[in-house]
Structure 1
Amino acid sequence: EPPEPSCLSMKSDWSMRKPPEFSESGPSDTKGRKRSAVGEEDQLSCCSLCQDVLKDPVSTSCGHWFCRQCITSYWDQSAPSGLSSCPQCGNRSRTRSGLQTANQSSSGPADVGLQKVLEEHRLSLRSRCERVTEGSDEPGSRTLLNRIYTELYITEGQSEEVNTQHEVEWLETASKTKRLHGAPIRCQDIFKALPEQHGAIRVVLTNGVAGAGKTFSVLKFTLDWAEGLENQDVHVVLLLSFRELNLIRDEQHSLLTLLRVFYPTFQKIPAEKLAVWKLLFIFDGLDESRLSLDFSSSQLLSEVTQRSSVQVLLTSLIKGNLLPSALVWITSRPAAANQIPPECVGMVTEVRGFTDPQKEEYFRKRFSDEEQASKITSHIKGAQSLHVMCRIPVFCWIAATVLEDILKTREGEELPKTLTEMYIHYLVVQTKVKKIKYDGGAEADPHWSPESRKMIESLGKLAFDQLEKGNLIFYESDLTECGIDVRAASVHSGVFTQIFKEERGLYQDKVFFFVHLSVQEFLAALHVHLTFSKSGVNLLEEQQTTSQESKTRKSESAEILFYQSAVDKALQSPNGHRDLFLRFLLGLSLQTNQTLLRGLLTQTGSSSQTNQKTIQYIKEKISENQSTEKSINLFHCLNELNDVSLVEEIKQSLSSGSLSAESLSPAQWSALVFILLSSDQDLDVFDLKKYSNSEEAFLKLLPVVKASNKAILSGCNLAEKSCEALSLVLGSHFCNLTELDLSNNDVEDSGVKQLCLGLNDGLKNAHCELETLRLSGCQITDEGCGSLVLALDENLTRLKKLDLSYNHLGEGRRASLTSRRDDPNWSLEILEVEPAGQRWLTPGLRKYSHQLTIDADTVSRKLKLSHNNQMVAHGEELQTYTDHPDRFDVKPQLLCKTGLTGRCYWEVEWKGRVDVSVSYGGVNRKRESLGCMFGQNDHSWSLRCSDSSFSVWHNNKKEPIISSVSHRVAVYVDCPAGILSFYKVSSDSLIHLHTFNTTFTETLYPGFMLKPASSVCLH
């Protein structure tokens, strides 16, 4: 059996390839989100057998209604002989084929001639959709759609971010979104309403990045309808691609004549039937449209026989002026989706591409050799940029094509790790196929013939020129403008079938396109590189030099400026649409990559000094506080240049525990964000205090907060500015947060109001899945609490736990919250509002100040008390304390008298070498063993202070702290929450040193251990 390399084109064509079918659930009823059919008559609402909502309703000759599966199962069990009677009235039907759908019995085509026309239409659509192209367009290469179709993850709603990002940046973001929002929707259920939706859905807009599977979803929907399997309440499905509509954009049509152009069988259908039947128009590939859709125009049509431009026909249909009962389904890449006004769309959905398990399943099915599949999967996972791109099915196919070729023909060769390497190998593989298949060459012959070079150079020029214009599909006029012969382009498409394609559209007009946007961007970068290498001309400059001037400019300094200008151009692009192009261009500058293209590139490329200058320039740009997306792409650019020094430096600091946020440069902060977001480990819990407890650090690490499931931001000196930033996170489509802890920050009422703006946006769009919100000790009063209650009242929320303790809410507001906890419309299960009062409106942790009293009965004889027992020092002589069972006889330690409860805070000044500790009261006091010292056992936790450094200890494990030393330190304990934090006090501000997150099982007591010549003073 042939392999199944399914390549999803970004284009909305009928010849896209698709990965093998995966064994996963198809129904959309997962997670309890049941769907109900739309538009059924009242009398068709209930099955006479199962008494449930009718599914695929059919009626017997006597007029009673059943689910098709129910009546079929009933007859199979009760009438095996084939004599079928109605379960409700007993009337017999001569044959089971007499079942009628809702449409056939009511508004459906009763005329036998019309019925025949519609059957012809179904057969035509079935023939059009049932087979798709794999590999090339040669005879015998088409595969059954149902054999390779994968139930893609389609969700309700759309990411706002993707409209302002390059699609590869969207993939980066989506790859960190471990929890997919909402239940998946089968493509067949795209017009079926969710329980919370009121009324029928008339217009659906489905978004998805290039190659994600939009067209395959359309084909599957249409095929299932044509085969009578799904959506039989629809009389006619009309599948129209914008690619084909472009061909008649200058013509005048009525809707009826337009349909007859694309569907000749409609010549026999009278105009009045279009208004009676239930029609579904599918417009595929809005991003490929060259029509000017003007939804503000007053020129609208209401009759199917009125003639106008194609643009007016479409806007009238979408707005509902023309055939208001017709269903409309539009697919688009996200960047073009805003052409349709939101008020015209009933539901927005998004095709999300492959999840991580689907990527692995693809390669397992693609390669029958399990060891080979495992090796390839492991390699893809280890190369982060490749793993991210594999979210797109077409890239999985490209990667599989390349890796299979290398493993088969060049065993032992290093596998490509960067995108540039992958696409160079892909180009080489296709050139090799051409050489053997079309030129009659042998495997060992040189890949690049003069003809092949000319073809690739022509395709590169086309790719670049059209990319600059924003065109992803090209017509004959586009090729002519680029100086490319149409006949030559047809030859190219016939030879390089897996790079460049040609389709015959309406009237056999030719349409050309690259198999994926990334292939076009790679060839565009190759063209720019080749042009500069040969002539010194920089195509990225607005005013290009003449050939005579460029001969003198092609020097090392010109090379450096060439790559620097490319970096600048990419950074200036507001939506990142040059980012992937830049990666390819920089990758092509490496000597190792140019070696792979020996024969195509006649001159060797950039010097190592040029590459180093480019690397340094990129690092300088990273230091300029770029946006997160720009910064991440610059790190990917460094990766394409094989420079990972900045990232490795931070990784080493993280692993050794020597990372100091106080000394990080802007570039190092960006590297830290890149590392955390690129990690293959899930960002389940992000604790800001591990890096810094400052608002500046929070704002730098905000993308990491957004990607985390649980964000611990307590005690990090955050205020209104931070809440404003968090508000945007909570309202974001890609927000992963289910738990947010803002306790002990100066949030105040103004900050709560900012948070509520984000909660409102997120909850309205069902993006926000926050279940736990902690605002304890945030100086919130009745006013701030009112804002929070209003936001949650307006949007029924899944919030289960709300902590507003240690604030001053007022009796009325606390009672109001309590009533909502008991309200069944709220999901709230745990509400904490005590303790409360005016005293908790004090800023900072000092509001939890706890007066320490040394327990004299525990003080070691090596320690001397003074200043009314508020100071202790390690004495030169043993003290004459009385014997006591609680006294530390061996170690120079002591405990305080009162056990800790709730939240407590204290400060101490120290000299010498001191352990500032908390311990369970049962710690051993009499033995000599090391385990009796604070921090050396599992009953105590210590901050070890010396003139040279700090470190923390627990259970005999040491963790060094990279920080300058202060001789005043503070301790904060939240006993119920299991939080123990150590701070140094500098100029009256608290600088976080370390936090233990644990569960305290016994009462805690403050304690100290002092070495000789050391002292502690309590405050």
Structure 2
Amino acid sequence: MVEKDVCNSCLTAVRVLRVSLVDELEGQIDSLLEVLVFQEVFTRDDREEVLCQRGPRARVRKVLDILECKGEEAAKVFLYVRSHHQHSKDESTGQPKSAEYKKVQQKHKDVLRRRSESMLSYNSRHGEKILFSEHYVNLLLADGHQGLENKRHEVLTFGQKRLSLQQKSVVQRKITPAELFSRSNGIRPVKKVLVTGVAGIGKTVLVQKMLFDFGGNKNYLAFDFMIHMSFRDLNLIDKPTNFRELVLRKNRHLAKELDNIFANDDKLLIILDGFDECRHYRSYDGDIFVTEPDEDAEVKEVLGSLLQGELLPNASVMLTSRPAAINHIPVGCIDRFVLIAGFSLAEVQDFFLRYFQDTALADCMFTTVSANELMLTLCYIPAFCYIVCCILKESKDLCGVSPKTMTDIYLQYLVALLRSHTQARAETCLQDQRTGTIQQLSDTIVKLGRLAFQKLMEHQTLFYSSDQDVAVLEGSSILSTFLDKTVAQEPGCTEEVFSFAHLTVQEFFAALYCAVTDHPLPDAIQSKASTEEGTNDGHFDLFSRFLSGILSDRNASFLSRQVGLCCQKEKVDTYRQKITTDLTMLCENGGHILNCLHCLFEQQDPSLALGVKPKALRVNVSDETLSQMDYNAIKYFLNLTKGDISELDLTGTGVSCDTLKDIQPLLLRCNRLWLGENNLDMDAVQVIADVLKVSESITHLGLGWSNIGDDELQALTGAIRVKKRLQELWMEGNRVSYRGLLSLSNLTPDPLTRVVAIWNLYDTEQESVCSQETITVNFTDDAMWEAWGEWVFKRCEVSSNEKLVMVLHKVCNISIHCLEAQWAKTFYSNLSQLIKSRIEYCTEDDMCKKLKNFHSSLNP
């Protein structure tokens, strides 16, 4: 309500300030007008109408008149623009700017425009360049730290994350580059901005767009200078340096005025692109600073000082990074977090049209992709959209069915690019034994695979020409087909830097190498049949899925026919047996099973699932934000099994009403169903109630911390009465009051032998219902709570710090010193030790503070 009142006061404020605004803005109305047009508050026709007025004061009045007709939102943007202009004007009066300063400024803009006026298109021919198109990736301003769980592969998480951001329009909104450094709260300006996004999403394109606009005198960001630095270049510096030298490496034309540029650091924007590509980002030490531009230190220390405001404290800094690296960034100094959300559905269609250059063909191909959930989700990533288009262009000649798995897509991508490279069909190459063309291609692919594999093991995505694994590929004609090349320049030294077109392409080639050679499987994926798997950060998840798909009979045969590479028969048989063994053990011990299910899905062989015969069928996919691809893998496996599902754990997966409807046939087979830590509305609860009404199997239901209240509980109560099969109902941490509990009273102790309702809402009349032994509203049964404590602690152990803090908020919201039971003392003591160990290795300032607060509360 307060926010709404503030918003509604904007137009009134413009009216009240009208007279003073005419005096204040007459000297800057033309530049302010350009900003209003850029922000799409004013149209070009509006601008012409304003410019027709005689004199600046008349123009200001006309602007105010037009605002009256445009309403509250326009007035709000106008006040922000006016405030930002005034702030810039006030600060700029502190340092006089000479004619030479302005001359160098224009020279710098010319240089930036020339460097950034064109970009390589994903589907351009070698050497072909195009100008920036009007189709620009969407930006969503994220309210707070939007770190993706490193436990999941970021590309696979991306589609679901993007949809989630689109739905939260109240909290997150689309922004333009002009708003990146706007005042976040109306009081202090935004100085440090972190832009994140998955590989191939357009972070570097965003940077280039900003440089291009700045070079074209679009001064909407109100900076005098922009300095761009790429970590790909900075990686070549292996000795102490200083910030002045870093700037001059590629900007010698700034030498004469650099002192004045530093003196006006409030008008300076420094862009640091690709933090995740920094060779040493994992070893960054935030406690070593330099304070002067001429002070020598390691590159990471110079840039860290800049980011944390120790060096040039008034300068603005924009840092771009993939999500996987943001835990190594001192986020405490970041004023704004921005997530690049890639293409919208309309932009995917536009990309198809530009690629195929035929409306009918583009529409047909887009329809094909829309029918494939996997391909459509990944098309939101611009780089991957090209991969899909490349496949579709050749799909009619490759196979008669649409790709079903990730491996299918990438194998077809490999063959499509090989065909494009050789300008002939793969069959022709196979017949041309005399030239050995296919053998040469196969050898090169294996070498590429070895490079991909070795660097994946070392967590590297950039490869330098001096590297031995790169040197063996020198002279290969298809190198440019799969590797992107840039040239990093160091004074007196030039070195080529290579990377695969996309992170997932590197993982695919690494798996291909492992499949067609005698190289053993990495230790990290040798055994997945352990409940400790959650400690894995998921670095090899997609690699193992590709490996499984390549080692399937159908894709091994496809690979042999099209590329001439053969998977080792022994390795195929061994890996298939490994999947069956791992799935059996994971089902029995309740270990985290999702990636193993994906590996099974990649095989597309129903006979494998028939070999999985656990003593109890337990499927644990908890603590993952599941995408449709994940549910497809889960359904694929469970639909191939028969009988009851002993346990299905969907705790903290973001499950929705639509998802529950989709998997409802599976829910009917569950004995134990855990749906806690999901935001379940009445529609979702109604689906669960429908299951309870007809299921002959379900005996245990977990709905802890799922935001259910009395109305939702009463819907469940009515359903429980129908079959009377449910024995235990866990609903801790919800909004249930005495009224809701009362609805359960005639269902206990038959059929409900246990109802757990701690951490709910009660009133003073709760005594009668809470006196029932089967309804637990406090910590009484030591044996029960000891088992509960062990379960929670195991979840905490395998959780990321972000997830751990969420759990701590729930289990530490009571006075633990009131719990004298031995189980509680053990539980909270172990929890305290876990938090202490996490603090020791935590590199994120904000997260470290949160963990320390919890540690202090447990150890007063």
Q: TM-score range by the shorter chain?
A: 0.5 to 0.7
In the alignment, which of 164, 170, 174 is matched to residue 184 of structure 1? 174
Amino acid at match of 1:578: F
Q: Which residue of 2 aligns with 1:854?
A: none
Alignment of structure 1 residues 285-324 onto 2, 5 Å:
285-291=274-280, 298-324=287-313
- Matched with 2:541 is 579
What is the aligned partner in structure 1 of residue 625 from structure 2?
Answer: none
Query: Hey, what's the Cα distance between the residues in 2 that align with 1:457 and 1:368?
Result: 34
Tell me whether 1:697 sits opposite 2:672 in the alignment: yes
Residues 425-479 of structure 1 deviation map (CA, whole Å, 9 limit, x = unaligned)? 111122222222999x9899689533322221211111000000000111234x2
Which structure 2 residues correspond to residues 87-98 of structure 1 after superposition, within 5 A? Answer: 87=58
Q: Which residue of 2 aligns with 1:223?
A: 212
Query: TM-score, normalization: structure 1?
Result: 0.56
Among residues 771, 785, 809, which one is paired with 2:763 in the alignment? 809
Q: How far apart are residue 392 of structure 1 and its match?
A: 2.2
Residue by residue, what CA displacement relative to the aligned partner does 1:714-754 show, whole Å, maximum 9, x if unpaired? 8999999957x537xx8xxxxxx9999355899xxxx9994
Counterparts of 1:36 and 1:203, CA distance in 2: 29
1:182 partner letter: Q
Secondary structure, counterpart of 1:529 in structure 2: helix
Distance 2:424 2:91 in 1: 53
What's the CA shift string for 1:247-272, capped at 9, x where partnerless?
11x23322222211121121121424
Taking structure 1 as reference, are residues 722 and 32 closer, same or farther at Cα in structure 2, changes over 3 Å only? Answer: farther
Q: Could you give the per-residue CA deviations for residues 890-916 of structure 1, whole angstroms, max 9, x where no partner exists?
A: xxxxxxxxxxxxxxxxxxxxxxxxxxx
Q: What is the rounded CA distance, in whole Å, between the counterparts of 1:64 and 1:205 in structure 2?
A: 27
- Give the conservation status (yes or no) of the 8 Å contact 1:420–1:588: yes
The alpha-carbon distance between structure 1 residues 603 and 379, as it changes in their structure 2 partners (threshold 3 A), is same
Higher Cα Rg, which structure: 1
Summarize the Cα distance change of 1:379–1:48 in structure 2 as closer, same or farther, 3 Å threshold: farther
* 1:241 and 2:230 are equivalent in the alignment: yes
SS of alignment partner, residue 600 of structure 2: helix
Match of 2:601 in 1: 639
Counterpart check, 1:451 vs 2:440: yes
Give yes or no for contact 1:156–1:182 (8 Å, CA) kept in 2. yes
RMSD: 5.5
Equivalence for 1:516:
502
Deviations 1:839-888 (A, max 9, x none): 554669999xxxxxxxxxxxxxxxxxxxxxxxxxxxxxxxxxxxxxxxxx
Q: What's the counterpart of residue 619 of structure 1?
A: 583
User: 1:528 — aligned with what?
Assistant: 514
1:273 aligns with 2:261: yes
Maintained 8 Å contact 1:205/1:349: yes
Q: 1:200 maps to what in 2?
A: 189
CA separation of 1:354/1:661 partners in 2, compared to 1, >3 Å: closer, same or farther?
Answer: farther
Secondary structure, in 3 states, of the residue corresponding to 1:352? strand
**Match in the other structure for 2:712:** 741
Q: 1:540 aligns with which of 522, 537, 547?
A: 522
Question: Structure 1: how far apart are the matches of 2:337 and 2:589?
Answer: 34
User: How far, CA to CA, are the matches of 1:323 and 1:500 in structure 2?
Assistant: 38
Output the CA distance in 1 between the equivalents of 2:771 and 2:541: 48
**Where does structure 1 lack aligned partners over 5 or more consecutive residues?**
1-29, 38-42, 91-98, 543-562, 731-736, 756-772, 781-803, 811-835, 848-1019
Q: Which residue of 1 aligns with 2:386?
A: 397
Give yes or no for the alignment of 1:331 onto 2:310.
no
* Contact 1:461/1:524 (<8 A) preserved: yes
Please give the secondary structure, in 2, of the residue aligned with 1:337.
helix
- 1:721/1:665 Cα in 2 relative to 1: closer, same or farther (>3 Å)? closer
Quote the Cα distance in structure 2 between the aligned partners of 1:241 and 1:151.
Answer: 22
- Amino acid corresponding to residue 536 of structure 2 in structure 1: P
Deviations 1:620-658 (A, max 9, x none): 14414556xx5232222112111357999999x999x99
Distance in 2 of aligned mates of 1:67 and 1:697: 59
Look up the SS of the partner of 2:236 in the other structure. Answer: helix
Check whether the contact 2:646–2:672 (CA below 8 A) recurs between aligned residues: no
Distance 1:392 1:128 in 2: 25
Q: 2:569 aligns with which of 603, 606, 611?
A: 606
**Helix, strand or coil at the partner of 2:584:** helix
Q: 2:130 & 2:4 partners in 1: Cα distance? A: 33
- Please name the residue that 2:242 is paired with: 254
Partner amino acid, structure 2, of 1:306: E
Once the two structures are TM-superposed, the CA of residue 87 in structure 1 deviates from its matched residue by 2.5
CA 1:298 to 1:520, structure 2 compared with 1: closer, same or farther past 3 Å?
closer
Residue pair 1:808, 1:838 contacting (<8 A) in 2 also: no
2:336 paired residue number:
347
Aligned residue among 659, 671, 685 for 1:683: 659
1:450, 1:658 → 2: CA distance?
Answer: 42
Secondary structure in 1 aligned to 2:210? Answer: helix
Q: Does the Cα contact within 8 Å between 1:157 and 1:348 map onto a contact in 2?
A: yes
Report deviation, 1:188: 3.1
CA distance in 2, matches of 1:588, 1:149: 36
Change (3 A) 1:388 1:65: closer
Instruction: Give the residue type in structure 2 aligned to 1:664.
Output: I
Deviation at 1:228, TM superposition (A): 2.7
3-state secondary structure, aligned to 2:228? strand
Change (3 A) 1:690 1:297: closer
Q: Deviation per CA, 1:74-103, whole angstroms, max 9, x where unpaired? A: 8844775x975542899xxxxxxxx99848
Partner of 1:117: 104
Determine if contact 2:269/2:316 at 8 Å carries over to the other structure.
yes
Aligned partner of 2:256: which letter? K
Deviations 1:20-67 (A, max 9, x none): xxxxxxxxxx99998999xxxxx9x9887988998xx96279x99996
Q: Match for residue 705 of structure 2?
A: 726
Change (3 A) 1:616 1:67: closer
Structure 1 residues 800-821: Cα deviation after superposition (integer angstroms, max 9, x where no partner): xxxx9x97525xxxxxxxxxxx
The change in CA–CA distance for 1:501 and 1:741 in structure 2 (over 3 A counts) is same
* 1:423 Cα offset (Å): 1.1
Q: Tell me, what secondary structure is at the counterpart of 1:697? A: strand
SS at 1:616 equivalent: helix
Q: SS of the residue aligned with 2:593? A: helix
2:375 alignment partner in structure 1: 386
- Tell me which protein shows more helix as a share of its residues: 2
For residues 137-158 of structure 1, give each alpha carbon's deviation from its aligned partner in whole angstroms, at most 9, with x where no partner exists.
8565212123442334453334
The answer for the alignment partner of 1:134 in structure 2 is 121
Distance across 1 between alignment mates of 2:532 and 2:700 = 33
Partner Cα separation in structure 2 for residue 335 and residue 740 of structure 1: 41
C-alpha distance after superposition, 1:218-269 (max 9, x if no partner):
2223322332335341111111111111111x23322222211121121121
Change (3 A) 1:654 1:305: closer
Q: Within 5 Å, which residues of 2 pair with 1:486-885?
A: 488-489=473-474, 491-492=475-476, 495-507=478-490, 508-532=494-518, 537-540=519-522, 571=533, 574-598=536-560, 600-603=563-566, 605-606=568-569, 613-624=577-588, 630-644=592-606, 663-666=644-647, 669=648, 682-683=658-659, 691=667, 697-699=672-674, 701-702=675-676, 710-711=684-685, 726=705, 741-742=712-713, 754=733, 775=737, 777-779=739-741, 809-810=763-764, 839=768, 841=770
2 CA distance for matches of 1:137 and 1:382?
27
Structure holding more strand per residue: 1
8 Å Cα contact 1:528/1:538 also seen in 2: yes
Task: Provide the secondary structure at the position in 2 that maps to 1:141.
Answer: coil
How many residues are paired up? 677
**What letter corresponds to residue 186 of structure 1 in structure 2?**
T
Aligned-partner residue type, residue 296 of structure 2: R
Deviation at 1:502, TM superposition (A): 1.5
8 Å contact from structure 1 (residues 711, 739) kept in 2: no
Distance, in Å, in 1 between the alignment partners of 2:771 and 2:210 is 61
Q: Take 2:9 and 2:217, find their aligned partners in 1: how far apart are those partners?
A: 19
Identity %: 23
Corresponding letter in the other structure for 1:129: S
| Residue 422 of structure 2: aligned partner | 435
Tell me the distance in 2 between the aligned counterparts of 1:448 and 1:73: 62
CA separation of 1:264 and 1:74: change in aligned 2, threshold 3 A: same
| TM-score, normalised relative to structure 2 | 0.65
